[in-house]
Amino acid sequence: MSGVGEYFIEVFKLEPNRDGRLVETTPINPIFSDTVPHTTGTIQYPQHTPPRPGMYSVLLEVRDNANNSRITHRFVLYDAT
């Protein structure tokens, strides 16, 4: 039986590389990650406040009970002011 099984989220800090392009500074070590099971009707969405202003990339993967998945990638400019 299909249906959403879990959500997986990762957040990465982006910094300019030597060519001036924004890249994930630690692509194998996100500054935040969480897996959220979807076993009940109520989902506890994770919250994360970046430690400092800047550009971040957010990866969200949704996995279903049949072991299929879809991934989306978004960029977020964070400034607490």
Domain extent listing, the chain: 4-41+52-78
Alpha-carbon distance of 11 to 31, in angstroms, equals 6
Q: In the predicted model, is pLDDT for residue 1 greater than 70?
A: no
Q: What is the pLDDT of residue 7?
A: 92
**pTM for this predicted structure:** 0.86
HEC readout, 3-61: CEEEEEEEEEEEEECCCCCEEECCCCCCCEEEEEECCCCCCCCCCCCCCCCEEEEEEEE
Q: What is the pLDDT of residue 19?
A: 95
Q: What tens digit of pLDDT does each residue of 7-53 get? A: 999 999 999 999 999 999 899 999 999 998 887 677 788 899 999 99
Model confidence at 3, pLDDT cuts 50, 70, 90, reads: confident
